[in-house]
Amino acid sequence: MSAEMIVKDLKKHYTKGKTLLVGIDGLGGAGKSTVADEVSRLLEAEGINTEAFHVDDFIHTKSVRYNDDYPQWEQYYYLQWRYDYFLSAVVKPLRESMEVPPVELYDKDNDSYITDMRSITNGSIVITEGIFLQREELKGAFDYVIYVDVPEKERLSRVLLRDGYIGDETDIRRKYEERYFPAERFYAEKYRPTENADLVI
């Protein structure tokens, strides 16, 4: 589905002057960021203000998310994200038509947080992209959810090219097979995201 068609469907749920919270869900390597960027560009071209957040900006530091008391996939699924903080710092103010306070975003290079200032006007479309957006912890956070559905084999071929920071191809495969893919399979089985999203592409 083209970005133009996504925007056309999305606008059916948008009321001028009322902030719309959109989630772009999908598993690793599905192309969520690309979809989010293209949709934002088209909306801005139509005069609709957009703001973007990335769930991976709301993760715990390594000392929290890597805990060898748990299997790798459980560390990733249960310990990776600061959902309570995302909801209180971003979603709650937007729901109440209040200003979003300075937000702590994860700084990957330093394994710490930086403060980011956002000025989000009422009537904006706020797009959050990331993995596992339909899990229980985020229930009700989004008005409209898009799920980017890409087969695991294709996603693996993409991340082998993308995720060189992990190491060589063997290192990347190992990390995905031990940490990421088992968590993704668990999420897909438990929440059936293709069945529950507003739009599947």
Encoding tokens for residue 89? 């710092």
pLDDT tens per residue across span 123-179: 999 999 999 999 999 999 999 999 999 999 999 999 999 999 999 999 999 999 999
3-state secondary structure of 128: strand
The Cα–Cα gap between 176 and 182 comes to 8
DSSP letter at 48 equals -
pTM, two decimals, is 0.94
Give the DSSP letter string of 49-117.
-EEEEEGGGSB--HHHH--TTS-HHHHHHHHSB-HHHHIIIIIHHHHTT-PPPPEEEEETTTTEEEEE-
Q: At what angle do helices 181-191 and 72-79 cross, to 10 degrees?
A: 60
The type of residue at 126 is V
Ramachandran area for residue 135 (φ above 0: left; ψ -120 to 50: alpha; else beta): beta
Q: Are 80 and 131 in contact (CB under 8 A)?
A: no
3-state secondary structure of 31: coil
pLDDT tens per residue across span 7-31: 999 999 999 999 999 999 999 999 9
* Topology at the third CATH level for domain 3-196: Rossmann fold (3.40.50)
105: phi then psi, degrees, rounded to nearest 5: -115, 145
Which helix H or strand E contains 4, and what residues bound it?
helix 3-11
pLDDT tens per residue across span 55-113: 999 999 999 999 999 999 999 999 999 999 999 999 999 999 999 999 999 999 999 99
The Cα–Cα gap between 152 and 154 comes to 5
Which pLDDT value is given to residue 1? Answer: 81
Question: Hey, where are the domains in the chain?
Answer: 3-196
Ramachandran area for residue 31 (φ above 0: left; ψ -120 to 50: alpha; else beta): left
